[in-house]
Every structure is written in structure tokens, then in C-alpha cells.
Homo-oligomer: A and B are copies of this chain.
């Protein structure tokens, strides 16, 4: 699907030619209600951060061909269809800086079926776009979770659109929700599995972590048994492996406000470890606010790792535990008693020294966040400290963006780009 705004979220980037940045590009969808022959296109003005580029300057890439305005006016065999965006290339030596830019476009079309005095029609659109720098080298890898697109996926975007969006921002890892993104879960048909692998190849993405659940209170009258819990984990391990994922995060039902997992967790994991080893898929319990690192729940996981000596049970850290300010915009509704801020939203501000202690056991980081502003400042998460700590301690692995802020249409895609611009810039400092 295309974005509803004429200015598309995908495709805004600097253009590199022969090692030099020569300009920038953006993509537009057809603003008219019908497709239009190239000869009826009559220029596009582009204004970025107030700097105006006249309508005859940008190049148009349309149906695979790149044309000047004069070439477009003389063209006989290209047209701007409703279902195909065009790429507008604007010359600008050095390109645009990393970060958020204000973009306006004025598209001119000639419409012969309008009275001559008004047949040169003007369509305007405005948006913000984010220039995301390439991922720096080093041990940190940059991915995105489909969770970031909650509310938009299946409504505004297909699963393929999400993968295309992730690839468009130069991320290379994709994390999914098993019971969420797999059609006919837990039994996708073989054709869909093939499609999935095809998408990974098309978009150059690595399948990273697979989110799963062990719904211990599935039944109203009893909890799951350990064997039932293990069966759930094993089902997801097999499915994750089939789809190319290297870890599974089982989210257990909890029994307390500080997210103590149901007591079956340990036996359910024990009964799944042989399969995890056989498949070489790591089971990753999630360290998630309001549970900090220095807490019996985390300690129990670490004890389990150390006692069992397994290589297939490691920690997944959700960066919400490092928040230094509360996220007061709930991303979804929960019942709150007495209007009090729920415990899980109070900032834990876990110190970096705690992270360092468990870092050898950390397999995966869910880069949870709620808002990065126009100056690439995260309102809640201290990314500079986190990135520095990971680099100082030689950690390597995935940072997988989990946007969990307001679910306005298209906001997730924009916010993830901002976060990647921020954390890649921080990682590139050394």
C-alpha cells in the first residue's frame, strides 16, 4: 500500500554517486484521482527546511526511467499511475543532514478536461521526513520489530510493506510476533512459508527474534501445566526455526505486579532446552519494566543459565527499564485503578552498571521507546549511555526497535526512522 500522504515515508534519502553525495530523493504518489501521461506532468517544486527548488529542476523517475522535465513533457510512453509512486531527485551537493526535515512539494499537472484557465492544476503536500545514516560497522546490528507498526499493520500496511519499510531505512534485522504476523498461526501453509523466505531475500533482511507467549491462564479454572507450557514453547521453537529466526522470546503469564512469571516457567523451559539446542534457537525471557535487573525474577533467570550451563537460554533486555522519565501516553488501553500511574509505567532508570553485570548473558535487545523528537532527542531513554555501555563492553548483537508510543497512523514508521538516525549516529561516534 502507498502512504496516504502524497509524500511517501519510504524513499526519502541522500543520493550517492561515485562516492559523493550529490542530492536527495523522495517518493510521491499520484495526487490526482486518475493516472496521467508523462507529457501532462508539469514540474514539481520541492521545499526542504524552507529552501525552495524550482519546479523545472528535479528529475523524475517514473516507471523505471529517469527524465528531466523537458524530457517528461516530450515523453510518449511513461505515465504516473495511481498505484505506482514516482521518485523525485533533487540535486544538492552534500545532500541533507541526518535527522528530521520539513518537506513541502507543489506538483503541477495539466488537466485538459478542466477549463483552460484552470487546467494547470496545483497539488500541494507537506510532511516531515527523516534522513537515516547508514548503519556503522562494529558489533551492534540494527533491526526493527513489527510491533512498532501495531495498528498500522493489516490496516495501512501489509506485512510486506512493513518489511519494505524496515529495509528502506537501512535496517537489516526483522523481529516478528509469532501469534500475530503468521497467517493461520500456528499452522501457516507451505506457500506462505516460501513467501516469507522470499521476502527476507527480496528486502535483504535477517530474521532475528520471534515473540511468543505462554498463556498460563489460558483457562479460567486452572493454569497450564509445565508440560503444556513446554508444548507451547516447543511449537514456537519449531515454527521460528522454519522461518529462519535465531531466538524465541516466550512471554509467560505473570502472577504479580512486578511481573513474576508463573512458577511453571522453569520446568517448561527445561523441557524445551533439548529441542532449542537441536534447532540452535535461543530461548530468551524478557527483562521488562517494572522488573529491573537487580530483582529476583532476573536473578532466577541468571541462576538458571549458570546452573544449567545451557547456551540456549539467555536474556532479552527491553530498554524500557532504562527510562529516566515516565511514558505517560499509553499506547493502548488498560484498566487503571484510582487514576494512579500504573507501576509498569514508572521509570526504573536502571543504572548501566547493572546492565554490565548481566551483559554476558544478554542475547538480544528490544530497543523499546515512545518518542524521539524533531531534534533526535529521545524523551525517555538514555541512548548515549546505553550505546556507550554496549560498545565499552564489547557486546555484539541486535538492537531491535520496538516503538510503543501513540498509535497515530504512520507514526510508528516515522518514529523508528528517528530512533535509527539517533542510535546509529551514537554508535558511529567511535
> Which residues of A are interface residues toward B (Cβ below 8 A)?
1-4, 29, 32-37, 39-40, 73, 79, 81-83, 110, 112-124, 147, 150-156, 158, 177, 179-181, 183-185, 211, 213, 215-220, 251-257, 259, 262, 332-337, 342-344, 409
The CA-CA distance from A115 to B154 in the complex, in Å, is 28
A334 contacts across to B, CB distance below 8 A: 114, 118, 121
Q: Which of B33, B35, B158, B180 contacts A185 (CB 8 A)?
A: B35
Query: Do B252 and A177 touch (CB < 8 A)?
Result: no
A116 contacts across to B, CB distance below 8 A: 254-256
Query: Do A153 and B82 touch (CB < 8 A)?
Result: yes
A120 contacts across to B, CB distance below 8 A: 335
**Known interface pairs A1-B155, A185-B81, A337-B117; A112-B35 also in contact (CB < 8 Å):** no
Query: Do A113 and B253 touch (CB < 8 A)?
Result: yes
Q: Which of B34, B117, B122, B217 contacts A112 (CB 8 A)?
A: B217
Residue contacts A-B, CB under 8 angstroms, 27 given: A2-B154, A2-B155, A4-B151, A4-B155, A4-B409, A29-B155, A32-B332, A33-B151, A34-B177, A35-B177, A35-B179, A37-B215, A40-B215, A79-B179, A82-B181, A112-B213, A112-B217, A112-B218, A113-B251, A114-B254, A115-B254, A115-B343, A115-B344, A120-B335, A121-B333, A122-B333, A123-B332
Query: Do B110 and A217 touch (CB < 8 A)?
Result: yes
The CA-CA distance from A336 to B122 in the complex, in Å, is 11
Query: Do A218 and B37 touch (CB < 8 A)?
Result: yes
The CA-CA distance from A280 to B83 in the complex, in Å, is 30
Specify the main secondary structure of chain A where it touches its partner: loop
Query: Do A257 and B215 touch (CB < 8 A)?
Result: no
Q: Which of B119, B219, B332 contacts A217 (CB 8 A)?
A: B119
The CA-CA distance from A285 to B154 in the complex, in Å, is 40
The CA-CA distance from A113 to B83 in the complex, in Å, is 41
Q: Which of B82, B110, B113 contacts A154 (CB 8 A)?
A: B82
Query: Do B4 and A252 touch (CB < 8 A)?
Result: no
A343 contacts across to B, CB distance below 8 A: 115
Query: Do A4 and B215 touch (CB < 8 A)?
Result: no
**Known interface pairs A333-B123, A333-B124; A180-B82 also in contact (CB < 8 Å):** yes
A110 to chain B, nearest CB (A): 7
Taking A35-B179, A116-B256, A118-B334 as given, write out 12 further A-B residue pairs in contact, using a Cβ cutoff of 8 Å, ordered by the A residue number.
A1-B154, A4-B409, A110-B217, A112-B216, A113-B254, A117-B257, A117-B337, A118-B336, A120-B335, A121-B334, A124-B333, A409-B409
**Known interface pairs A33-B150, A121-B333; A156-B218 also in contact (CB < 8 Å):** no
Residue of B nearest to A119 (CB): B217
The CA-CA distance from A413 to B255 in the complex, in Å, is 45
The CA-CA distance from A18 to B342 in the complex, in Å, is 51
The CA-CA distance from A114 to B342 in the complex, in Å, is 11
Query: Do A180 and B33 touch (CB < 8 A)?
Result: yes
A285 to chain B, nearest CB (A): 12
The CA-CA distance from A73 to B34 in the complex, in Å, is 49
A254 contacts across to B, CB distance below 8 A: 112-116
A185 contacts across to B, CB distance below 8 A: 35, 79, 81
Residue of B nearest to A179 (CB): B35
A332 contacts across to B, CB distance below 8 A: 32-33, 123
Query: Do A115 and B256 touch (CB < 8 A)?
Result: yes
With most chain B CB atoms within 10 A of its CB, the pick from A34, A79, A147, A219 is A34
With most chain B CB atoms within 10 A of its CB, the pick from A110, A180, A181, A220 is A180
